[in-house]
Amino acid sequence: MTATEAKVPAPASPVGNSGRAMFVFGTGLGVAAGDKNLEVVVARSRPSGSKLVAKTTIRDFRTRPAAEWGAELKGFLAAAGERDLMATLILPRNEVIVRTVALPGVAAQDMAGAIELQVETLHPFGDEDVVFGWMVAGVGQVLVGVVRKTLMDHYETLFSEAGVGLAGVSFSAAAMYAALRLRSAGQGMLLAYDVTTGDGGIEVYGESTAKAAYSAGFRLPPERALAIARSELRLESNHPAVTWAETLGLPETDSDSSVAWAAALAASAPFAAKYANLLPKERRASSARRQYLVPAILAVLLGIAAVVVFLVMPALDRRDYLAALTAETKRLEPRATRAQALEKNAATAKVRIAALDDFRRRPQADLDVLAELTKLLAPPVWTNTIEIYPDSVVVAGEAEQAAPLLKILDSSPLFQNSEFSLSVTRNGAVEQFRIKTMRRGRAGRTTP
């Protein structure tokens, strides 16, 4: 029993997707084995997108001499300008047992051992030697493919005789899962089907919250097969189903190459999306594609430079500016405090100066008030007290008639708004009064 594994990157955020695109760089050769023919696709992927470079069908590869169809395949690659590409072979769905295994809480370094302990329960081959490969598919789930070792040896020998190197051997569900994550985290709730399996059946692939990856082959009418798949995926009964070609962005005219296209996409960008490889590492062929090494390195460096220029440097500049601003604020803070204190002292001094000026002017103004009252309140008016305030004067005394005094005071250019502050009282032949009159031009000033 031989096991190999590939880990799929964790789902990326929208920001993370743009970072992942930097690693989408390369060319892949996908080969899908059918009952009679090989579907072959060359895909070229770049950060800007992927395109189908060339495709062909190698007919009757099982009955023809391997060297013959191998020469045909190599001629196809030469015509496409991709002589050195190694193939990623997808085995027929009916030759691979595919299982989604839940491993909640198992650490990444322990997954291989955990799967190996369970692999005997995942296939019906009994004691026969098997080869299995796996890949992480969602949180706590792995997608496992199991195939007979004799069958793997047969395909390896066949392609060796054909002179075509195998970089990997996988199954359709693994290729689909990897291809869908070439630039994003996947499709979410997905139900896709392919009816070109060669045996008159239908292959269904799906993703949902219940199962990170689902794969099954049916020899049933398509609607019946899709209904079973919806039930397995816990999808609504009316959840739409699309073809593999539509899911992978392939024109329907090329739908017969959907599986090979998925394999080519997965193989074209090994750093962005890895698939479950059934072929042991020591027997994997590598493409002599050194010409892509420098562009890939340059692309990575360019991405790093872009991150530094557009993210790191502005952040550093903002940090330095904030630090300089804080330091300058602290340096000027004593001066600002002193300036505020001086401004406050100046305002206080200004108020005091105004008060002193007013006080200095008061003696002469008060003398003028006394002189005016002496003139206005001539005998027989008698004053007992005169209280002089900055804005008013209070006069108390006696007169034969107190009422006319209000008008007499208001006729003066120094007084206005005269009124009795207390009721007038009669004491014999005279009336006692207390009058408050406002000083003209002194409004708004308060009594000390």
**Residue 417, both tokens:** 């708004």
Q: Taking the chain, what is the end-to-end CA distance rounded to the nearest angstrom? A: 109
What is the distance between the alpha carbons of residues 50 and 182, in angstroms, rounded to a whole number? Answer: 10
Residue 151 amino acid letter: L
Q: Assess if CATH 3.30.420.380 describes domain 2-287.
A: yes
Domain edges within the chain: 2-287, 377-439
What pLDDT, on the 0 to 100 scale, is given for residue 56? 94
Taking 70 as the pLDDT cut, the residues of the chain under it are 1-22, 185-187, 196-200, 287-296, 298, 355-356, 358-362, 442-448
What pLDDT, on the 0 to 100 scale, is given for residue 313? 79
CB 277 within 8 A of CB 133: yes
What pLDDT, on the 0 to 100 scale, is given for residue 48? 84
**Residue 102, both tokens:** 């839940």
Burial (Cβ within 10 Å: 0-12, 13-18, ≥19) of residue 166: buried
- Alpha helices, H only, 11-81: 14-21, 66-79
Give the C-alpha distances (Å, rounded to integers) separating 278 from 1, 32, 76.
11, 15, 26
What pLDDT, on the 0 to 100 scale, is given for residue 42? 94
What pLDDT, on the 0 to 100 scale, is given for residue 448? 40
Q: Which residues pair with 436 in a beta bridge?
A: 394, 419
Angle between helix 149-162 and 66-79 (nearest 10): 60
What φ, ψ does residue 377 adopt, rounded to 5°? -100, 65
What is the distance between the alpha carbons of residues 144 and 136, in angstroms, rounded to a whole number? Answer: 9
What pLDDT, on the 0 to 100 scale, is given for residue 443? 53
What pLDDT, on the 0 to 100 scale, is given for residue 292? 56
What is the distance between the alpha carbons of residues 368 and 199, in angstroms, rounded to a whole number? Answer: 127
What pLDDT, on the 0 to 100 scale, is given for residue 176? 92
CA atoms within 13 A on the CB side of 200: 3
